[in-house]
């Protein structure tokens, strides 16, 4: 897969379905208002601007999937988490993308 496809592909290179089945920590980084309008069952809402302050919430999670409306804020959240030592973070893209894998 070329670098352009890796960066801009609508389907992540990782298997979200498997990670979700294995109990990944699902984090919606949209605003509380957006979350209230619809969200992935079993996900928690930690808005992007609160991720840094909520780092303890992410500790001891086997896999973490972050997502939002378009994939932009989740990309930022993934970077924040990685800068703080988390290597098990996947940008799931949009909440609707992640939602299709949740039963």
**Would 2 be classed as within a structural domain?**
no
Which pLDDT does position 52 carry in this prediction? Answer: 97
**Would 22 be classed as within a structural domain?**
yes
Q: Any residues with CB less than 8 A from the CB of 53 and at least 6 apart, and which?
A: none
User: Average pLDDT for residues 24-37, to the nearest whole number?
Assistant: 98
**Would 3 be classed as within a structural domain?**
no
The residues annotated as belonging to the active site are 68
| Strand residues in the chain grouped as ranges (E) | 25-28, 44-45, 64-68, 89-94
Which pLDDT does position 12 carry in this prediction? Answer: 46
Q: How many domains does the chain have?
A: 1
Q: What are phi and psi of 70, to 5 degrees?
A: -120, -15
- Indicate the pTM of the whole model: 0.86
**Would 10 be classed as within a structural domain?**
no
Judge contact between 47 and 32, C-beta under 8 A: yes
Structure tokens at 7: 């960066």
**Would 8 be classed as within a structural domain?**
no
**Span 31-78, pLDDT tens digits:** 999 999 999 999 999 999 999 999 999 999 999 999 999 999 999 999
* CATH number where 25 lies: 3.40.250.10
Report which of residues 103 and 34 the model is more confident about: 34
């Amino acid at each position: 897969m070329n670098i352009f496809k890796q960066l801009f592909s609508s389907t992540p290179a990782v298997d979200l379905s498997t990670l979700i089945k294995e109990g990944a920590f699902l984090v919606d980084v949209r605003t509380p208002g957006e979350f209230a309008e619809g969200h992935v069952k079993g996900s928690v809402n930690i808005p992007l601007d609160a991720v840094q302050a909520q780092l303890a919430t992410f500790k001891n999670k086997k896999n973490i999937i972050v997502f939002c409306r378009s994939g932009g804020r989740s990309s930022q959240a993934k970077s924040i988490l990685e800068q703080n030592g988390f290597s098990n973070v996947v940008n799931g893209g949009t909440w609707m993308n992640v939602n299709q894998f949740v039963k």
